[in-house]
Structure 1
C-alpha cells in the first residue's frame, strides 16, 4: 500500500543527493522524459486583392475547402463594385486563414497577420496577428468613416488545430 509513494519519494531524494554532489543534473533526471516543443515558422502569402471587409463582426477563421472559401469571400466582398473575383486556392495543398477585426471607428488602423508557427508539443499551428497603422492615402490622410479591417493569408494545408494570438 505504501510502497509506490515511498519509492517515488526515495527516487526524488536520490536525485537531489546526486545533483548536490555534482554527479547528475536534476533536470536531466526528472524532466528529460518530457518532449520539447519544436517551433518552426510557416511561410504564407497574403490573399490578393486586399479589400476592406464587409464582415462587420470579429472572426478568426480557418478555411480548408472551396465551399467555405466561396462563402467567406462572398461575405467579405459583398457590396463592392466591381465584385472582385474569387482568388484561386488549391485546397488539396493550401488553406486560408483570416482575421476580421469587426467594425472600427478608427479608420487609421489596419490588421496584419504577423507570423505563423508550427508547434510539435502539442502539435498545432499558431497564428499571431496585430493592429497596425494604416498607410495614408494619396493626400496623406486616412479615409474617414468606419472600417472593417481584415487580413487573409494562404499557407500549406494542414489538419492541425489553429490557435490565434494577438501580439503587439
Structure 2
C-alpha cells in the first residue's frame, strides 16, 4: 500500500540517508555515480513510502536574472510507481517553500521550478493551472524548458499558507 510522507532534510542528511539516496538515483539510472555524489548535498526533502526513500527533492541557490537576485532552484525525482499524486507534489512544494523561507529569507528571494518532464511541461502550458497555484511564468531556460517562480515576500496560491 502506498503511504507517502515527507521529511525536510536540507543540510541535515544522515550518512544512512545519503547512502539510500545515492542508491536510489544510481539504481534508477537518473544520475551517474559522479553526478549523484555532487548533488547529494542539494537534497532538501525525502519522499518516503512506509519509511523507505522513494523520491527526493533538491534545491540549489543560484542567481536568477528575473530579479537580479539569488533564488532556490527546485528539482524533484520520485520512482515511477509512486508518481502521479498532485497532492504530494503540492505538499512537497509547500514544505520546501515554507522551510526555505524560514531559514533563508534574508539570503534568497524565492523558488524557481524548471519543468523537466513531459507531464509537467504540458501542465505548464496551461498557464491558468500554474498561476492559480501561485507561480509566475518567467520564460524558457537555456535548455528550452519552462521556468516558473514564486517569491518569498509575495506568497500566492498554494504558497499563501496561514
**Which category describes the TM-score, using the shorter chain as reference length?**
under 0.3
Bigger helix fraction: 2
Structure number with bigger Rg: 1
TM-score, normalization: structure 1? 0.27
- Of the two structures, which has the highest relative contact order with CA contacts closer than 8 Å and spacing of 6 or more? 1
